Every structure is written in structure tokens, then in C-alpha cells.
Structure 1
Amino acid sequence: MRLFLILALLLSQIAVAQKTKAELRTHLQPAVFSITMVMIHDVVNPPAASRFYTHCLMGAYEIVAQHNKQIVSPTKFIPNIQPVAITAQAGYNYQIAALYCILETGRLILPSGYMLEEDQKKLIIALLREGHSQKTIDDAIAVAQEVAKKIVTHANTDGYLKLSTRLRYRPKKGEAYWYPTPPGYMEGIEPHWKTIRPILIDSCNQFVPKPPVEFSKDSTSEFYKLSKEVYHVGRNLSEKERFIASYWDCNPFAINTSGHMSIGFKKISPGGHWMNITSIATTKAGLDLDKGIMIHALAAATLMDSFISCWDEKYRSSRVRPETVITRYIDQKWQPLLQTPPFPEYTSGHSVISTAVSETLTYLLGDNFAFRDDTEVIFDLPTRDFKSFRQAAEEAAISRLYGGIHYRDAIENGQSQGKAIGNFIVEKLKANGVKPAI
């Protein structure tokens, strides 16, 4: 009888431990989404958003790696990052610390980071309801705060704080070069982004794409044909194509004009869309919290490096947008379906970053990983089913042609650029012992 009671007690303790782990896992997606919502509020531009995601997750990744031998520490394969020495309370719950660290880093690094204090309070309340003691939570928070401060201190050395001191970008003179587009005629976003220190790739110009098709007004030229394609596709869109373009719009700078009034609409960034896809996929796969944090951090780092590589090319070629060319030389009244983003055209950012992160996710979660994407539901768009990450990336890329904001060569060469980045990162992960999660 006594043996039976001991066995029952052990089984009960195992069940409680498993339940606790499962409950902690459920807090990851809300934490990442809280970061997203603050960035939507702040209208954070796409390159900067990818940087914020990366640093918000890197501390959590390092905390997990220090306690789980199956998780390879990012310090093993990320240059310029040192192991985080934790001096706070020993014996702390590292998973609670990792979750809280995501929010704490966001609180410290985001412009409106103070908004995350409410999310931190909600997390604490949820943890108490799940049976964690106040002391357990307090000890974990102390670690999270220590790590977050060190992560932000390190992040501040990547060149971001110097961007505001650099000269403002002036568009190059000439018909071939980018010029601000309606309705906002906003100046170029992040013209010096190539100076940001990358995470996994070696340099901003490691993956320079082949040059864009040369500008020409000659109606027989290759460039004119590219422009005409954008024009004709935009005038003959099917309902499905219109939906695809709108689904992957991801433009934080959208402005709607009515008479003399301009109204801004806040939307998720391209990187934010892919971070939510990462959350959806890791949840569907039933991964534990440790692997979920690792995959989110690696997806974010891939996005950050992809933006650095893409923006390096954008302001090197400074290529004119289709809207400018078409309204000047083909049809003065033509308008693209999507609002043209405020930066040069080549290469297509969505094509580069979507292709790159799809390769990282494919390696970590497998090819033909089907998922239902509900990212755009908050913007009144329905869910969308994909058979794989690569299929989603393909659709994101071609959406830019449907939307009238990119030429075909910017899309296809952008995909090649993203593929090269993704392959490089995957090989680096393999070489350093980072294995697929499933």
C-alpha cells in the first residue's frame, strides 16, 4: 500500500511538471505578439522591426541554452556576442526568466517599450494561477532583468544609435533613380541601414545580387518591357491576385487620402508577418518552450540579416519605382494596387526576406510543413493555408508584382539573393550543431 502511494505521488508530480511545461510553452506566442503590437503602434519601419525582434529574443535564447544542453548557444556561431554571465539568484526557473526576458528587452529597447509593462503584469498573474510561487517568479524576473540590460547594452554597439547622426538621404539626380512617391512623398527609409552590424552573415555586401536591368525609355528595351508588364498586370488583376497582393502588403506606412485629409493606417511589417508564422508553426509542431525560443530567435536573425543585405543593394542601385516610370511614360492616371513603399525598388524586400527565412524555417521544421496563417485576421483579412514555408515565400514575392510596386527582375533576383542568404545561414547552423527541431 505504501509503495502504491509513493508511486501515485511520483506520477502526480510528473503530471504537474508536464502540465507546467505545457503552460509555459503557451506564453511564447503572446509574448512575441506583444512585441509586434508595440511596433505596430510605433510604426516601426521593416528593417528596424527585424532588429528589435532579434534582440528581444536573443537574451531568452541564451538563457535557455545555458540550461538545456540540446540547445546550441548563439555565442557559438554568432560573432561579436559573448556568453551572458548571470549573477542573479541561483536555481531560478530559467524558462520563466526566458519568457520575461523577451518582454523586458522589448520594454528597454522599443520606443514605446513602457507599453509592455502591462503584458509583464499579465504574465505574472498567469504564472501565479498556474501554481508558480511569487518567489520563483521574482527570482526569474531578476535574471531576466539582468540579461535584458546586457543584451540592450550589446545591441547599442551595432551602429543603430549612430543612424540619426548621419546625413539625410537625397535622391540621386536622373530619371533612372528612385524619387519619393505619392501620396505621402516620404523620404527614403533607413538609407544607412547597411552600416548595422549583421548577426549571422559576414557583411552587408556578402550577397550582392546581379545588377538590375538598365533603365531605358526605349519602347523596345528590356526595362520598358518590365514596366509594361507591371502596368498590364495591374490593369488585369484577377480577384485572387488582388487578394494575394493585399494579404502580403505589410506596409507600416500606408496612407489613405480623402480630399485634403490624409489618414495613416498601422499595419504589421513583413518581418512581423513571418515572426507570427514562426509562432504558428512552432505551436502546431508542439515544440517545447526551449526549441520554440531558439527557432524564433533564428528566424528573427535571418530576417535582420536579410534586410541588411537587401537595403545595401537598394541604396546602391537606388532604382526608380514602377509607379514613377509608368505615370511619366505610359499612363499618367495609372495607380498601383498597393501604396508604393518609401525606399528604392531593387531588390524586392519581401522577396529577399521571405525567401531567406523560409529556408531557415524549412531546415528547422521540415519541408512540406503545412500551416494555416491567421496573421492578417486583425486587419480584416481571412486565414490562408500553405503547404510549406517556401510556398508562402513564393506567394509573398509574386505579390509585389500584383501590387504594382516591383518589376519582375527585382522579385526574381531578390529571391535568388534571399536563397543565398538562407542557404548560408542553414549551413552555418549545421556546422555548429544546430539540428532540426522535429
Structure 2
Amino acid sequence: MRSIRLPLIGCLLLIVAGMATCRKQDVPPAPVIIEKKAVVSSSTGEIIVPVSWYQLELKLIRETGGFSPPVAARAIAYTGITLYEAVAAGRSLSGQLNALRYVPKPDSWKRYNYAIAANSAMAQIIRSLFPNASAANQQLITQLENDNLQLYADTCHPDVVSRSVSFGRQVATAIHQWSATDGGKDGYLNNFPADYVPPVGPGLWVPAPPAFQRALLPYWGSNRTMVKPFTVNIPPPAFSTTTSSSFYQSALAVYLKGTAQTPEENLIARYWADGGGTFTPPGHLIAIATQLAVERNVSLASAARLFAQVGISLNDAGILSWKYKYKYNVLRPVTYIRTYIDSSWMPTIATPPFPAYTSGHATFTAAAGGILIARFGGNTSFTDQQKVPEGFAPRSFNNFQSMINEAAISRVYGGIHYEFDSESGKQTGADIARRVLDLQY
């Protein structure tokens, strides 16, 4: 047995693998340590390839300019679809996802190593999706591609290696060409378009303290979704300053929660903040999905399907949430509260620079959570290890719905959303997940 260390992110990923073969079923079990947090055994060992790429992609999201939550969700989605198509996990998503009309297929009667194909495909799509990554991080992409290839190439016939690498790159090229037509290709370059002028009037969004930033991605909601949405969004309560009104009472509830917060509520607000400089809310959710896939020893094909489903859900959650945000342009709690309740009040976490309704975090979490429920079961308990590097203790949940509910209410505890923002976001996310699960895989 040989020990192979992937040094791409320091000690982020250590793989101890036996000799690999060209047949997936022959790859021996491989203990995997993900960020030194959990040791498990993969039934094929091949899941180390996508897991290592998602580890790197999360680093790129943290460190590459312009990867706000919707932009990050878009990258995660195209990465997952590329992986899915590269490993021949089942029925192609071509013809099912909006405007995806062609994806290369492997040649019949020829041998492929699908771990190698997955590796080359993910390397190329991530390289394409993060063109503004630093030179050091671009080098990490090359390094990881080479390291992963060495796990399998030594015991494969050179023709199989070459064919598999070529196929993965062909898939990545096709997916990247499709991605370029969705309306979000250059989002990372223009998060705050100077030509956007927000509407003005009572109850409408204005830049919030303390940063008073311009509106983030006001046109994102017009991007092409990957699946056809069937959600019917319910308008928010009518704006009112009357103390008996639903809107005032919703704002008052945020204010009171912020001024009389329990330590646990404060922890929940901070745990799910995932603000600037982090892997973002979508990154947190794909990280949970990869952790669960490793812990439960899923196959490469099964992992590819899961990651594609989660990614598609996150992408469309970002688009629909941003569509509703700029359709209704609801002012943030901090603006309402400081104007009509307490001029000195500030929320627990920083208010992001876009309208309140609906909650992006609730939408993202309900969309991804709906996929996790379908894959692992509604009564599955788990422990989220993903915030340990940031100084948080692992956080356990009795089921995925508990995670969804906690992430949604965290924004109310944090003082940046009304509860109706979060409830509507949960509904939208659940609808997206159902639509994604209706695809044929």
C-alpha cells in the first residue's frame, strides 16, 4: 500500500489509496480524511476525485473576487453537471435542462476510467469558471489535476488514460459553452452595476448601514434557470407604519429578538452568516453534501448525481430569490427599525446589500436540503463539520428539515430578515428541489 498526499490546500485532503485499476469496481477502499475531521472508507475510492475538487472550489470561492452567493451557486452548479456528465452516471441531462442540447458521450465498446474523466472534466470546468483566480490558485488547479491523475494512470493502459482525459475535457467544453449563454457568465466582474437605479418610495429598499453599498446583482433574476420553475411567489405583507399592521409587527419581532437574544440564538445567527470572505451559503451547503457523501461511502456515480442535483438547486435558488428581491424591493429590517422603532438599533450580523424579500439563505438551504432529504431520508441525523475551521463547534441536527428551519430563522436572529422573508424562501427552495428531483437521472 502507498500513501498519497494531495498538497493542494496544505492538509485539507489526505488520501491513502491502494493501487488503482481501470475498472471502477476493482479500486480498493481508501480511508479519507476531510480537513482532518472524519475518517471514513469509500466503497470505490473514486469519490476522492470530486471531493478534492470541491475542496479546492470552496477555496477559490473564498479567495477569488466577485464570487458572491449567486455567482458561487452558479459555479457549483456547472461543476456538478460537468461531473455528472463525465462519469456516465445515468441518463444525460441534455434535453432536460434549459437550452442544454448536446453533451458528448463516451464511445461504445471502448474502455474508460471514469475517475480520470471526472478529474479532467472538473479541472477544466473549474479553470473556466474562475478565470480571475490568483496565479497561485491557478497553479493549485494544475497541481490537483496532476495529483489525481497519478492515482489511476500508473495502472491503466495509456490509451485508456488518454481517452478518458480527452472525454472529460470534451464534456467540460460543452458545459462551459452552454453556461456562457445563461446571462450570468460575467457576474463576477460586475456585482454592483453602476447603471442600476433602485426605485424610490415608501417601504422600498435603500442601501443599509454600516457600509451603504450599492445593490448587488440587481439583474441576476433575469438569468436562465436550469429547470423550469413552478413556484408561485406570494407577495410580502403590504408596507405600513401602523403599529397594528402585519409589517410593523414583523419588524418589531426582529427588533425584540435582537435586543433580547439568547446565547443560542446569537450562535445560530453567527453560525449561518457565511458572509464575505467565506465559502458563502451555497458553498456551505455543497460542503455538507460532500461530507455526507464521504461519510456514507457513496459511489462515484451516486456522488455525481447528488452533487449535480444540489448544484442545480442552488443555482436556481439564487436566480429566483434575486428575481423576487428586485421585483418587490422590500427594505431591510435595519432601515425600518431605525426609522420607525429605535434609531440606534443595529442587527447582530451585517446587512447584505440587496432587498430583503425573499431570503436567499432560506431559499438556498431549502433547495439543497430538499435534495438531501430525497437522497438520505427525512429522518437522517447528521453533524455539520464545515464550520470547525472558523472556530465553531460541530453542529448536529436530528434531520435535514431541522437544518433548513435553523438556517432560515438564523437570518431573523441576525436581524437582517423578517420572518416572512424566510418562510417564503423556504417555500421557493422546496419547490425548486421538487422540480430538480423530477428530472430523469
Q: 2:81 aligns with which of 58, 66, 69?
A: 58
Alignment match of 1:172 (pick from 186, 194, 199): 199
Q: Is the 8 A contact 1:280 1:371 kept in 2?
A: no
- Which one of the candidate residues 226, 229, 234 is aligned to 1:199? 226
**CA shift at 1:103, angstroms?**
2.3
Are 1:234 and 1:404, in contact at CA under 8 Å, matched by a contact in 2?
A: yes
Query: Structure 1 CA distance, aligned partners of 2:285 and 2:84?
Result: 18
Aligned partner of 2:212 in structure 1 is 185
Q: CA deviation at 1:289?
A: 0.8
CA distance in 1: counterparts of 2:106 and 2:92, whole angstroms? 18
Q: In structure 2, do the counterparts of structure 1 residues 79 and 122 end up closer, same or farther at CA, with 3 Å as the change threshold? A: closer
Give the CA deviation at 1:82. 2.5
What is the CA-CA distance between 1:388 and the residue it aligns to?
1.8
Match of 1:209 in 2: 233
Secondary structure of the 1:211 match is coil
Q: Residues 21-420 of structure 1: matches in 2 within 5 Å?
A: 22-43=44-65, 44-65=67-88, 68=89, 71-75=90-94, 77-85=96-104, 91-113=111-133, 115-129=137-151, 131-133=154-156, 135=158, 136-161=160-185, 168-202=195-229, 206-252=230-276, 266-420=277-431
In 2, Cα distance between equivalents of 1:111 and 1:143: 22
Whole-angstrom CA distance in 1 between matches of 2:130 and 2:155: 29
Report the secondary structure of 2:396's partner residue.
Answer: strand
User: Considering only aligned residues, what root-mean-square deviation do their CA atoms show, in Å?
Assistant: 2.5
Question: 1:126: Cα distance to partner?
Answer: 4.6
Letter in structure 1 aligned against 2:427: S
Q: Write the distance in 2 (CA, Å) between the matches of 1:41 and 1:298.
A: 25
Q: CA deviation at 1:162?
A: 7.1
Q: Which amino acid aligns with 1:109?
A: L
- Note the alpha carbon deviations across 1:338-362, whole angstroms, 9 max, x for none: 1001100001111112112211221
Per the TM alignment, residue 408 of structure 1 is displaced from its structure 2 partner at its CA by 1.2
Return the alpha-carbon distance in structure 1 between the equivalents of residues 54 and 303 of structure 2. 11
Task: Provide closer, same or farther for how the CA distance between residues 103 and 219 of structure 1 changes in structure 2, counting only shifts above 3 A.
Answer: same
**How much does 1:214 deviate?**
1.2
Q: 1:223 to 1:100 in 2, by over 3 A?
A: same
Q: Which of structures 1 and 2 has the bigger CA Rg? A: 1
Q: Which moved more, 1:71-80 or 1:148-157?
A: 71-80
Is the contact made by 1:34 and 1:116 (CA closer than 8 Å) also made in structure 2?
no
CA contact (8 A) 1:32 1:102 kept: no
Q: How far off its partner does 1:120 sit?
A: 3.6
**Alpha-carbon deviation of 1:119?**
3.6
Query: Which deviates further from its counterpart, 240-249 or 347-356?
Result: 347-356
1:285-337 deviations in whole A, cap 9, x for unaligned? Answer: 21101110111011000111111111111001000000011111211111100
- The aligned residue for residue 17 of structure 1 is 27
Deviation for aligned residue 1:40: 1.0
> Is the contact between residue 49 and residue 115 of structure 2 (CA under 8 Å) also seen in structure 1?
no
- Cα deviation for residue 23 of structure 1 reads 2.6
Q: Report the secondary structure of 2:337's partner residue.
A: helix
Q: Secondary structure at the match of 1:160?
A: coil
1:263 is aligned to: none
Amino acid at match of 2:75: F
Q: 1:297 to 1:228 in 2, by over 3 A?
A: same
* Structure 1: segments with no counterpart, 5+ residues: 1-12, 253-265
Amino acid of the residue matched to residue 125 of structure 1? D
Assess, with a 3 A threshold, how the Cα gap between structure 1 residues 220 and 339 changes in structure 2: closer, same or farther. Answer: same
1:421 aligns with 2:432: yes
Q: Hey, what's the Cα distance between the residues in 2 that align with 1:353 and 1:233?
A: 23
Displacement of 1:76: 5.1
Runs (4 or more) in structure 1 with deviation over 6 Å come to none
Rounded Cα–Cα distance in structure 1 between residues aligned with 2:175 and 2:49: 21
Cα distance, 1:14–1:288 mapped onto 2, change above 3 Å: closer
For 1:314 and 1:334, locate their aligned partners in 2 and report how far apart those are by CA, in whole Å: 24
Of 337-346 and 77-86, more deviation after overlay is shown by 77-86
Whole-angstrom distance in 2 between the partners of 1:373 and 1:411:
21
Structure having the higher helix fraction is 1
CA distance in 2, matches of 1:61, 1:224: 47
Cα deviation, 1:183-233, whole Å, max 9, x if unaligned, reads: 22111111111221111224xxx4242111111122222211111110000
Q: Distance in 2 between matches of 1:151 and 1:337?
A: 40
Given that residues 302 and 357 in structure 1 are in contact (C-alpha distance below 8 angstroms), is that contact kept between their aligned partners in structure 2?
A: yes
Paired residue for 1:6? Answer: none
SS in 2 for 1:385: strand
Check whether the contact 1:234–1:403 (CA below 8 A) recurs between aligned residues. yes
The SS at the match of 1:75 is: coil
Q: Counterparts of 1:185 and 1:133 in 2: how far apart (Å)? A: 57
The change in CA–CA distance for 1:379 and 1:273 in structure 2 (over 3 A counts) is: same
Which deviations, in whole Å up to 9, do the C-alpha atoms of 1:235-281 show, x marking residues without a partner?
Answer: 111111111111100112xxxxxxxxxxxxx1121111110111011
Unaligned segments of structure 2, at least 5 residues: 1-22, 31-42
CA distance in 2: counterparts of 1:148 and 1:424, whole angstroms = 24
CA contact (8 A) 1:310 1:347 kept: yes
CA shift, 1:161, in A, is 4.0
Residue 182 of structure 1: how far off its partner (Å): 2.0
SS at match of 1:372: strand
- The answer to whether the Cα contact below 8 Å between 2:312 and 2:436 also exists between their aligned partners in 1 is no
Letter in 1 for 2:349: L
Q: Secondary structure at the match of 1:277?
A: helix
- Post-superposition Cα deviations, 1:375-434, rounded to whole Å, max 9, x if no partner, equal 1122222211122222111100010110000111111122222222223333x13xx3x4
The separation in 2 between residues aligned to 1:336 and 1:132, in whole angstroms, is 57
2:37 corresponds in structure 1 to none
User: Equivalents in 1 of 2:172, 2:364: separation in Å?
Assistant: 26
